[in-house]
Structures are given as C-alpha cells and as structure tokens.
Amino acid sequence: MKKDWKLPSLKDAQIRTTKQSLVERELFDIPSHIKNMGNGRKFFLRTYGCQANERDSETIAGILYQLGFSSVKKPEDADIIFFNTCAVRKNAEDKVIGEIGHLKVLKRTNPDLMFAVCGCMAQEEDIVNLLLKKHHHIDLIFGTHNIHRLPNLLYNAMISKERTVEVYSKEGEVIENLPAKRFGKHKAWVNIMYGCDKFCTYCIVPYTRGKERSRSALDILDEVAQLKKEGFKEVSLLGQNVNSYGKDLNCDYNFANLLEDVAKIGIDRVRFTTSHPWDFTDEMIDVVAKYDNIMKYIHLPVQSGSSEILKIMGRRYSSEDYYTLYDKIIAKMPGCAFSSDIIVGFPNETDEQFNETLNMVEHCKFDNVYSFIYSPRIGTPAAKMVDNVPFEVKQKRLQILQDKINHYSNLNNQKYVGEKVMVLVDGKSKKNDQVYSGYTQANKLVNFTGDNINDGDIIEVIITEHKSWTLNGEKI
C-alpha cells in the first residue's frame, strides 16, 4: 500500500465530539502551477444518490470549470470521468461497481482516459479496498470531506500520473467559498447543514457524511438573496435532518427562524428536505402555514408504521407520534401534500408489523413514497442483527406496499382533474417539444401545452387528465 494514501475508516467515522465545527472560509485555493490545467480537457460527471450529492456535484463541476475543463455529455468523449457515488443501499452500490467495470473498455481505446470515484462510497472502507484491489483503472478516489482539495488531487493524478487516494473519516468542517456550477437555471439547492448525528441503526449516512453541522444563517441568507438576484425562482434548503438546524451553533436560532427568514427574502418558492418526524416543531408548522412562498409539501420519512420496529431502527418516535404529527400538520394546513420513505423487511419484521406500515399508508394517503427493501450496511448496528425474514417475503411485502402507494398516488392525482394549479416551468418535455413540464406547489409533475411559455415562468395550468405519477394540463 502506498504510504501517502489516506484511506477511510468506519471506526473513525463514528466519532462524535462536542466541539463546535470549524467554519473554513479560505481552504479552497488553486495554486498557480495548477491554474489552467484543464484547458483543452473535458470531463464527464455522473451523480448517484440524494440531493446532497447533486449539490456536491455542482461544486465539483464549479471547480473543474475554474481549472479550465469543459463538460461533455458522454463518458466516451471525456478525458476524465467522475462518478459521485451513493452508499445508502447495496443495489445502488452494485450498479456503480458494474458501471465502473464497464468503463474499463473505454480505457483500452483511450489509455490517457482518467477515472475518478468520489462521494459516499469513497467513504466506505470495504468499497475502497475493493476498488483498489480489483479496479486498477481508477486513478483518483476522494471523499465527501475534501472536495475543496480537488485541484491538488487532480494535479497529482493527472500531471504526476500517480494513483491518488485521499479520503478522510472525520466529523468535518463547514467549508465556505467553494465554486459551484448550478445545474438548474431556476431551481437551486442550498445546503443549510451537513452530516447526520441520528445514527438510525440501518443507515450509513452518518459514517459517510460526518457530524451534523450547520452553516451560519448569514451565509445561507446571503446565498438565497444572491440566487434571487440571479433570477432563481425556487430554493430547496438541504440537510439530512433540517429540523436540527442550529442545534450545534449554541444559539437560539433554529430551523423555524431560518425558514422564516428565507421566506422573507421573497423568492417565489421555498422547499426544504429532509425533515425528521422526531423534532418537527409546532413553530415549524406555524412558519410553513404562514408564508405563501413556502410550499405546502412535506417530505416526512416514516420508515415503518410499527413502533417496535421504529424503536429498533433508533428513529426516536413511535407510530402514534407520527400519526399525531401528521394530523396536526393537516389540521393546520388542509391539502398539504406529503411524501415519505419506507423500509420493508427490516430484520425480523413480522407480518403484523408490516401491516402496521400499510395502515400508516392508508391513514396518511401519501402523494409519493420512496420504498425500499432493507439493505444491510457494513458497520451499522442493524447489519449485525440476526434476520429471520426470507428475501422473497421482503420482495412480496415491497410489492404489496407499492401497490398501495400507487393506489393513493393515483387517487390524489385524480382530485386535481379540473383544478387550476400554479406550475414553475422547467422546460420542454424530452419526448415531445410541443409539451412543457414543470412542478406544482405540491411537487406534482405536470405536462402541459400552451403558447408564450418560457422556462422559469410560474403559470396557471388547468389539469385535464391524471396518471399515477403525473398530471396533464393546459396553460390558462
């Protein structure tokens, strides 16, 4: 093993101290010998996983543009390929490993082609070991904590032609003043915090992303104000659990305060994700209800409808707590749309416990649910649990659950037919250039026709038809 490699350690990644995270404003730098190293070179960047990764990819692209690289749409046209990866489930990882394997062929036709792997899989010990042993065509591996180091790492890999591995397993800092190439023209992701301290027993994220740490409110509000100035119509405030915002800053300013201050900036649409049901406060509900520009759509992952399973998952709420919270939000904001995440087949989940999840879906009639079969993640407590549920049973449960989810999504969509909705226009549909698409306030995807429509407009559309997951309509 090379001495100067820095490899991940899951053990180190678990450490949490009470120290307040550092805010680093001057860490990013492009040394003079590296400036322009991308001139004439092209990159291809593929992103897997959640919005945190999407936002990180914007930073990676921003750095690459500053170095003079340009981007291409096909991996075979690139001089360097980046995979920004997700570790949340094994099938997601298998897909990435498979694609990494496929790209070997490209290197045969273009021996100078370089290959970089970053993101959450790069934070996993066993994955990095596998990549190093079995995938010799990977030139650069870096993690979620050192994206700002990309210029130096690239120089090492590209100019010095050394296989470069640098991954830190640590709590992490708040790093400001990184470049970003926003992928959206009208909708922007805004990180409000990084990491996670919840350590749900099944989840790898606290190990791959470090400690829960909040950005300063001033930095966030400045960013949103700037985005508004640049013509952005929508911001989505991002964190693994946005409700925890500010708890690490040792001041009284909390997520409800931040949300209210963001809304007051007056950008047309404000969204936030993800909210944990455990610390969703009444104050937050009041703020969402009070401001027209905060969308009445809440992603509230329940994971299971069984209090016993929730307890073993370490979710910190019971199914009764979830029902109470849901009912409270609906009472305050009738018509508020909800989506959720559900895991089926958690170790030793019984039929009764699974039925409690179905009951939860029936009660909450979610507009959308991301549902998954439990996937053991090495290093997490749940991965050590003995599991007596056969995989076929888990598959059957997922099917039953998804049928129910589709049923309610369909019913919810049906209600929109004949209704008028406000849509933020994303652009022309990929399949038909007579048709535009965009999202409603409740995050419904609408395909619609009409004249004088521009990307980024917020227009009124009448819904003429519904499908399970989308709506069709006409501009009024």
Task: List residues near ligand SAH by CB under 6 A.
Answer: 88-89, 202-203, 205, 240-241, 274, 276, 301, 303, 341, 343, 372, 374-375, 377
Contact 239, 245 (CB under 8 A): yes
Contact 160, 199 (CB under 8 A): no
Contact 222, 174 (CB under 8 A): no
Residue 329 sits in the site that holds ligand F3S (CB under 6 A): no
Alpha-carbon radius of gyration of the chain? 23
Residue 303 sits in the site that holds ligand F3S (CB under 6 A): no
Cis peptide before 144 (omega within 30 of 0): no
Cβ nearer to ligand SF4, comparing 207 with 326 = 207
HSE (side-chain half, CA atoms, 13 Å) at 208 = 31
Residue 167 sits in the site that holds ligand F3S (CB under 6 A): no
Q: Which residue is nearest to ligand F3S (CB)?
A: 49
Residue 205 sits in the site that holds ligand SF4 (CB under 6 A): yes
| Of 126-134, 143-151, 194-202, 412-420: span binding ligand SF4 (CB under 6 A) | 194-202
The Cα–Cα gap between 245 and 255 comes to: 5
Cβ nearer to ligand SAH, comparing 148 with 299 = 299
Cβ nearer to ligand F3S, comparing 90 with 475 = 90
Cβ nearer to ligand SAH, comparing 140 with 205 = 205
Residue 5 sits in the site that holds ligand SF4 (CB under 6 A): no
Binding partner of 375, given ligand SF4, ligand SAH, ligand F3S, none, CB within 5-8 angstroms per partner class? ligand SAH
Contact 208, 144 (CB under 8 A): yes
- Out of 10, 127, 200, 423, the only residue in the binding site for ligand SF4 (CB under 6 A) is 200
Helix axes 391-414, 351-364, angle to 10 degrees: 10
Residue 255: closest CA among 288, 222, 226: 288
**Burial, 225: exposed, middle or buried (Cβ in 10 Å; 0-12, 13-18, 19+)?**
middle
Cβ nearer to ligand SAH, comparing 179 with 381 = 381
- Out of 5, 65, 199, 291, the only residue in the binding site for ligand SF4 (CB under 6 A) is 199
The Cα–Cα gap between 43 and 75 comes to: 8
Residue 274: closest CA among 237, 240, 247, 314: 240
Shortest Cβ 425–ligand SF4 spacing (Å): 32
- Out of 196, 267, 312, 424, the only residue in the binding site for ligand SF4 (CB under 6 A) is 196
Cβ nearer to ligand F3S, comparing 120 with 310 = 120
Residue with tokens 């273009």: 110
**Burial, 130: exposed, middle or buried (Cβ in 10 Å; 0-12, 13-18, 19+)?**
middle
The Cα–Cα gap between 298 and 335 comes to: 11
Contact 344, 375 (CB under 8 A): no
| Of 65-73, 203-211, 229-237, 260-268: span binding ligand SF4 (CB under 6 A) | 203-211
Maximum pairwise Cα distance, the chain: 66
Residue 209: closest CA among 146, 165, 144: 144
Shortest Cβ 117–ligand F3S spacing (Å): 13
Total of residues contacting ligand SF4 (CB under 6 A):
10
Residue with tokens 């001057």: 26
The Cα–Cα gap between 328 and 62 comes to: 42
Give the per-residue contact string, 69-108, with ligand F3S (x = CB under 6 A; - = no).
-----------------xxx--------------------
Residue 241 sits in the site that holds ligand SF4 (CB under 6 A): yes
Cα 104 from chain centroid (whole Å): 28
Binding partner of 87, given ligand SAH, ligand F3S, ligand SF4, none, CB within 5-8 angstroms per partner class? ligand F3S
The number of residues in the chain equals: 476
Total of residues contacting ligand F3S (CB under 6 A):
13
| Of 89-97, 192-200, 257-265, 443-451: span binding ligand SF4 (CB under 6 A) | 192-200
Residue 276 sits in the site that holds ligand SF4 (CB under 6 A): yes
Residue ranges in contact with ligand SF4 by CB under 6 A: 196, 198-200, 203, 205-206, 240-241, 276
Residue ranges in contact with ligand F3S by CB under 6 A: 49-50, 52-53, 86-88, 119-120, 204-205, 208-209
